[in-house]
A = this chain, B = another copy of it.
Amino acid sequence: MSQRYTIIGNYISPYVRKVLACMELKGLDYEIDPITPFVGNEAFTRISPLRRIPVLIDGALVLNDSSVICQYLEDKHPQPALYPADIAQRAKARWLEEYADTYLADVLIWRLFYQLAVRKHVFRETSDEAVVQHAREVEIPAALDYLETQLPVDGFIFGALSIADISLACYFRTASFVRYAVDATRWPRTAAFVQRMQALPVFQKLARWEDGVLRIPVTEQRTTLATMGAPLTRETMGSQVPQHGLPRG
């Protein structure tokens, strides 16, 4: 019998969302310790050498990095498959996942969401407007121009829902927390894709908990999530004091 998995990481994080979506789609049993990496304690540092979320705990096995975790879940629970069966398509799906995890994360999360939300709400700092403006005017459009050549008019990228669709959708979702939306007149395929993905039951289910903790201080999120029926761990690796840093997924 499969044992219960533990995920360390916050619902707001796109990297965590990617893993949770895979677990939900595969029907796996899990509990979550919804910390942000900024408040991880020493126990968290021991299991996440780069202080990144998510971390997956499966008995004695501790795994870091969302892409590594998703591939592990696929290897261990092959059905339903979230990676294309065709070798070339599988490679293309992994490339789009990598593109999402690096470039899309850089421009949507670290130069937009981090500046506008995390610096303000977690660290009580002001955002760097020049960084945000360059992201909005140059870097995000470059990503959207590329995605517009990769996405289908309808349905999923490789026929069935795959890790590529899931990964891309996760970053646009976190960007929406700072009211970023893709301009449908300029990038119609990407805008429609993001809407289609967000309408999927798996993302709707996660969205409820995401909306529940949005704009709530990290120290109060656990209590809120408990009242909303989120599958929380009993213990937490979160401390009360936010620490500086730019951990990635």
Using C-beta atoms within 8 Å of the partner chain, give the interface range for chain A.
20 to 34
A10 within 8 A of B: no
Q: What is the CA–CA distance of A65 and B94 in the complex, to the nearest angstrom?
A: 9
A-to-B contact residues, CB < 8 Å? 49-50, 58, 61, 63-65, 67-69, 71-72, 75-76, 87-88, 90-92, 94-95, 98-99, 102-103, 146, 248
Pairwise interchain contact A68-B91, C-beta atoms closer than 8 A:
yes
- Looking at chain A's contact residues, the main secondary structure is helix
Q: How far is the CA of A61 from the CA of B72 in the complex (A)?
A: 26
Return A82 CB to nearest CB of chain B, in Å.
15
B98 lies within 8 A of A72 (CB): no
Q: Are B50 and A75 in contact (CB under 8 A)?
A: no
Task: Evaluate whether A65 and B98 lie within 8 angstroms (CB atoms) in the complex, with A71-B91, A72-B91, A91-B75 already known.
Answer: yes
Residue of B nearest to A58 (CB): B88
Q: Are B50 and A95 in contact (CB under 8 A)?
A: no
- In the complex, A67→B91 CA distance in Å? 10
With A49-B146, A50-B103, A103-B50 known as contacts, the answer to whether A90 contacts B65 (CB < 8 A) is no
Which B residues lie within 8 Å of A65 (CB)? 94-95, 98
Check A94 against B68 for contact (C-beta < 8 Å).
Answer: yes
Residues of B within 8 A of A95 (CB): 63-65, 68
Min CB distance A23 to B, Å, is: 15
Query: What are some 16 contacts across the A-B interface (CB < 8 A)?
Result: A49-B146, A50-B99, A61-B88, A61-B91, A63-B91, A65-B95, A65-B98, A67-B94, A67-B98, A68-B95, A69-B91, A71-B91, A71-B94, A72-B88, A72-B90, A75-B90
Q: Which of chain B's residues have a CB closer than 8 A to the CB of A69?
A: 91
How distant is A3 from chain B, measured CB to nearest CB, in Å? Answer: 13
Report the minimum CB–CB distance from A85 to chain B (whole Å): 11
Q: How far is the CA of A103 from the CA of B88 in the complex (A)?
A: 28
Max chain B C-beta neighbours (<10 A), residue from A91, A95, A98? A91
Residues of chain B within 8 A (CB-CB) of A102 are 50, 248
Q: How far is the CB of A13 from chain B (nearest CB, A)?
A: 17
Distance A65 CA – B95 CA, assembled complex (angstroms): 7
Give the CA-CA distance A64 to B91 in the complex, in Å: 9
